[in-house]
Structure 1
């Protein structure tokens, strides 16, 4: 199980550091009207979507692994997903560098209306974000394919996938915990962090997308060639 978790680290880090989802979470959390409940609802929505993705595609990938005896056939699924993910990330880096619109970015209107959102609508945004963001889709599918290829058994695979979800959402959960445990001191920190991320979202996205894009592209090509 430890080996599989290490293999999942690139997908965990990639899923966790997507600037858009963090910015939305922080803006919801520091909202003056039910901010904490909005942030919790937002993360709950993302969690439910990822659980459904795991249930549906985990069964599909596990079934394909059970029917396929050769390890090369199993690894080809992962390699193809890595190749697609690498290409998507490099396209994102290029679009951000050229200041073009990224289809995974939320419209500016959503960010400006966050204070007026209800917890229910924040929950809906959480449900929808992993479905409309192509990169989050491929991160999750790559993680599921890696878990399925390891053939850990149903219980162990479920535990590993739940850990993947927990760690992928860690940068959303930590500010929520800070708001609960140190409410007064966390307000200033969250405001500063939100402002910094909003200001530096473009360079962060370029660097992260370029580094991970090259890494996944190399891994995908190497896997398919071998």
Structure 2
């Protein structure tokens, strides 16, 4: 029935876009792209980094989508047991990771320190900049669980292939907004762009740990609830 299909797509997008928004507001990738834009070849490298990020999200999401396809992960539009177990495991991981981040957060935001690898960004080759974008998207302990959860949510919903691809594309686009905003400001903002981006970088550097800890705690509880719902229904 058409109404049922639309409701299913709406429910999946509502689920997936929440994960995408969490990926989009991750402070570290935003700081990384701002630092890249400040390098002599910032325009080209910023685009390369963003393309790598998009590719990393798309590939990881597509792999999870293939694993959690309707034939293998869904029975009568209901997610398979292993999908519930996966969400439960991801939820527990995010809760534990968020608690660890919160415990280790600087009590004084001005004492926050950026990862050491960021100091070498201005010396990276274009290929390494591209690889950094892929890695921060697909291999990062903060973003990978969210992308995996999004892929599982899409693949286990029993949607047609075209709608699965559309849902994954929507996830990738929304998850990339955090990078597109500073990139757009840099390309279109003129002289004021550097000051604006510098203010963003300083704020994100100071509050990175606290923001991610709260984000992980909220999303961990959501995934935990989703997993329990699948396993008990």
C-alpha displacement of 1:75 = 4.5
Q: Which residue of 1 aligns with 2:84?
A: 79
Consecutive unaligned residues in structure 2, runs of 5 or more: 1-8, 106-113
Q: Which residue of 1 aligns with 2:98?
A: 93
| 1:77-126 residue CA offsets vs partner (Å, 9 max, x unmatched) | 442232222222222222223328xxxxxx82211111222332110111
RMSD: 2.4
Q: Which residue of 1 aligns with 2:222?
A: 215
| TM-score (normalizing by structure 1) | 0.85
Q: Which residue of 2 aligns with 1:8?
A: 16
Q: Which residue of 2 aligns with 1:17?
A: 25
Q: Which residue of 1 aligns with 2:155?
A: 148
2:184 to 164, 169, 177: 177
- 1:129-140 matches, within 5 Å, as 129-140=136-147
| TM-score (normalizing by structure 2) | 0.82
Q: Tell me if the contact between 1:7 and 1:146 (Cα under 8 Å) persists in the aligned partners.
A: yes
Equivalent position SS for 2:79: helix
Q: Which residue of 2 aligns with 1:103?
A: none
Q: Which residue of 1 aligns with 2:195?
A: 188
Q: Which residue of 2 aligns with 1:104?
A: none
| 1:56-81 residue CA offsets vs partner (Å, 9 max, x unmatched) | 3322321xx21566348624344223
Q: Which residue of 2 aligns with 1:40?
A: 47
Q: Tell me if the contact between 2:91 and 2:220 (Cα under 8 Å) persists in the aligned partners.
A: yes
Distance 1:165 1:214 in 2: 23
Structure 1 pair 51–204 and aligned structure 2 pair: CA distance change class (3 A): closer
Distance 1:57 1:72 in 2: 18
C-alpha displacement of 1:23 = 1.7
Structure 1 pair 66–222 and aligned structure 2 pair: CA distance change class (3 A): closer
Q: Which residue of 1 aligns with 2:3?
A: none
C-alpha displacement of 1:44 = 0.8
C-alpha displacement of 1:170 = 0.7
| 1:140-180 residue CA offsets vs partner (Å, 9 max, x unmatched) | 22212222223332222212211110101111111111211
Structure 1 pair 160–172 and aligned structure 2 pair: CA distance change class (3 A): same
Distance 1:174 1:117 in 2: 22
Distance 1:211 1:156 in 2: 27
Q: Which residue of 2 aligns with 1:123?
A: 130
